[in-house]
Amino acid sequence: MTLKRIQTVIIKEWREAFKGGKTVWIGTVAIPLILLGVSFFQLFHLSDIRAIPPEELVGTLFLVPFLYFLMFPMIIPHSMAIYAIMSEKEQKSLEPLLATPLRTGELLLAKTLASVIPALAITWVAFGLFLIVIQFVLPASVLEWAWQQFSTIWLMTLGLFAPLAATFMTLAAMAIATRVSDVRTAQLLSSFAMLPILMAAFFLIFQNLLEKPALLGGLCAALLVLDLVLLGLNVKLFGREEILTRWR
Amino acid sequence: MIHAEGLTRRFGERIAVENLSLGIGAGEVFGFLGPNGAGKTTTVRMLAGLLAPTTGRALVAGVDVCAEPQRVRSVVGIVTEHPGLYEKLSAWHNLKFYADLYDVKSSETQIEKYLNLLGLWERRCEPVGTFSKGMKQKLAIARALLHEPHVLFLDEPTSGLDPESAKTVRNFIAQLASEKRTIFLCTHNLYEAEQLCSRIGLIKQRLIKVGSPQQLKRELYGRHIIIDLKEPISLSEDWQLPFVRDVQINGRRLLVQLDDPEVQNPVLVQRLVELGAQIQFVREQDRTLEEVYLDLIAQEKP
Ligand SMILES: Nc1ncnc2c1ncn2[C@@H]1O[C@H](COP(=O)(O)OP(=O)(O)OP(=O)(O)O)[C@@H](O)[C@H]1O
Ligand SMILES: [Mg+2]
């Protein structure tokens, strides 16, 4: 493993993906921005927002936008991870790539990180923006109150759920992309992979999650297991022979 | 530089390459010919550390391809069947990526050198997707040379190129050969093989024959001398010289098969003159490598 080779591949992935066209921009940047915009719009348009006691704002102000932060880590890496595999297959660029000293483990790690890093960065930045907007629009006491209420869940979501979910989505999308021959099928199938996790997240929100952070912990534990399984699968799929002879 | 022993590769039931043994010296340009599916690409992949042989072993540039494939990959260069470039990235970024993977010192100088040599410097900032097939092929060659490998594998480097681009690429290969690099050239172009290669191997799953283009031709056909006469001549039974293996008379042309024309021609010519022949031309019949190739492949039953 050398860091330099991994870094080289990651930078190439980003350069290529963002020059690669609309899908990656839409999936990685545009959709999160739109979702974030919608939640801000809600904030600004509640009439008399400053007069409502914070307790009554929980649903509209915190839980709904909060859903986005469960979704972001899953949505954002999706298109990038598919692109990372499909574009190599379409351009037949894997053979010369594998003819370099690059190890297949390094390739897998680099491609995974290339999708997970932007997903986490964007999720965290979006969350930061969200906090800033609350501070701006609502009385200062609201953020203070919210922090006391939600900080455990927030930190768990951003620090635990987000990396696990982004890794899950990336590994699932890459594994699927190695096995199908067109981008649309890959997108469709990996969206199915996303569904159960998203449904679990929705379910948690309506299970009084705020009082039971253990539920989120359970989801994270399940994700960790899934991630490990997917990692094992990807390690198999990323064998040199496998890539050269069976990725079609 | 390349030494293979009993190299075999199976894909499931199918044997792609069987029991290939081969030695290629430093600085040699070795041509590898064979019909589609003969196992050329598979052989290159094994020798370049990309695919593990099922059985057998090989040393390339002194490194064992089975034991240390990663080291093999770092010391050889390869131009794969498809250029496999990143079309959205510029020529420069394509090369920079590979230079970093090969850990090339002073990569920018190397990139500049090869872009210049192959006439792509002016277009270094354009996305490769806008390049012609010939330019892509040249870029793929540049990419294989960035780390200055001593052993270079070229898998059909001129296929699909127009005659002019093909010629540029061939000239460049000749130039690389003059720099004492060992070149392993897979090709379907027999003219190219004859022009560039000091030795040729014919493969159809198994290695059928190895030799210089001249050797291959001779071995298959013996040597034929064509003698053109001014007037047709009728030769009686007793004109024969003991060393003449066969004669065909075709109007004013004689086709004589000999073992050692350098020694035997003068005697032959003298005898013919004695018999009243008026000789216009004497030359050796030159078989094309294509004829040799087709005959050898046809002889080889699957
Ligand atoms: N990944 C693979 N899986 C199964 N069979 C394969 C694979 N790669 C090659 N083969 C088989 O091995 C044999 C040799 O293939 P190879 O590509 O080495 O031939 P080639 O000489 O390079 O042919 P061409 O001139 O068409 O490039 C063929 O029968 C091919 O079908
Ligand atoms: Mg081939």
Report d(CA A37, CA A129) in Å as an integer: 11
Say if B80 is an interface residue toward chain A (CB within 8 Å). Answer: yes
Q: Are residues B186 and B95 in the same domain?
A: yes
Q: Are B17 and B46 in contact (CB under 8 A)?
A: yes
Q: Report the atom number in ligand 1 closest to the C-alpha of B203.
A: 21
Instruction: List ligand 1's pocket residues with C-beta within 6 A.
Output: A 245; B 11, 14, 16, 34, 36-42
For A131-156, what is the mean pLDDT? Answer: 81
pLDDT at A1 over 70: no
Distance B204 CA to ligand 2 centre (A): 12
User: Which residue lies with its CA nearest to atom 4 of ligand 1?
Assistant: B11
Q: Which residue of A has its CA nearest to B52?
A: A241
Q: Are residues B207 and B247 in the same domain?
A: no
Say if B296 falls within a structural domain.
no
Residue among B9, B10, B13, B14 to mutate when testing ligand 1 (max atoms within 8 A of CB) = B14
Q: Are residues B182 and B110 in the same domain?
A: yes
pLDDT at B31: 94
Min Cα separation B36/chain A (Å) = 17
Q: What is the CATH number of the domain that holds B250?
A: 3.30.70
Verify whether the Cβ–Cβ distance B103 to A4 is below 8 Å: yes
Q: Are residues B233 and B84 in the same domain?
A: no
pLDDT at A241: 87
Provide, as residue numbers in chain B, all residues whose Cβ is less than 8 Å from the Cβ of A16.
86, 88-89
Q: Are residues B26 and B138 in the same domain?
A: yes
Say if B83 falls within a structural domain.
yes
Sheet arrangement for strand B182-186: B76-79, B151-155, B182-186, B29-33, B199-204, B206-211
Residue among B40, B81, B186, B188 to mutate when testing ligand 1 (max atoms within 8 A of CB) = B40
Q: Are residues B25 and B115 in the same domain?
A: yes
Choosing among B10, B14, B88, which should be mutated to test the A contact, i.e. which has the most A CBs within 10 A?
B88
* Domain region containing B259: 222-286
**pTM for the full predicted model:** 0.85
Q: Report the atom number in ligand 1 closest to the C-alpha of B45.
A: 18
Say if B98 is an interface residue toward chain A (CB within 8 Å). Answer: yes
Say if B126 falls within a structural domain.
yes
Verify whether the Cβ–Cβ distance A103 to B70 is below 8 Å: yes
pLDDT at A167: 96
User: Is the interface score ipTM higher than 0.90?
Assistant: no
Q: Are residues B168 and B243 in the same domain?
A: no
Q: Which residue of B has its CA nearest to A21?
A: B88
Q: Are residues B193 and B260 in the same domain?
A: no
Of how many residues is chain B composed? Answer: 302
For A162-173, what is the mean pLDDT? Answer: 95
pLDDT at A60: 67
Residue among A95, A244, A245, A246 to mutate when testing ligand 1 (max atoms within 8 A of CB) = A245
A16-47, pLDDT tens digit by residue?
988 876 777 777 788 888 888 887 777 776 65
Q: What is the number of domains present in chain B?
A: 2
Q: What is the CATH number of the domain that holds B7?
A: 3.40.50.300
Neighbours of ion ligand 2 (CB under 5 A): B 40-41
Verify whether the Cβ–Cβ distance B11 to A245 is below 8 Å: yes
Q: Are residues B207 and B227 in the same domain?
A: no
Q: Are residues B154 and B182 in the same domain?
A: yes
Provide, as residue numbers in chain A, all residues whose Cβ is less than 8 Å from the Cβ of B10.
none
Q: Which of A9, A96, A103 sits opposite B80 (nearest CB)?
A: A96
Residue stretches of chain B with pLDDT short of 50: none
Say if B65 falls within a structural domain.
yes
Taking 3-state DSSP, the helix, strand and coil percentages for chain A, each rounded to the nearest 5, stand at 90, 0, 10
pLDDT at A200: 84
Domain boundary (B211, B233, B265) is at B211
Domain boundary (B191, B211, B231) is at B211
Distance B185 CA to ligand 2 centre (A): 11
Q: Are residues B255 and B151 in the same domain?
A: no
Window from A76-80, A99-103, B289-293 with minimum mean pLDDT: B289-293
Q: Are residues B123 and B242 in the same domain?
A: no
pLDDT at B23: 95
Bridge pairing between strands B253-258 and B246-250:
antiparallel
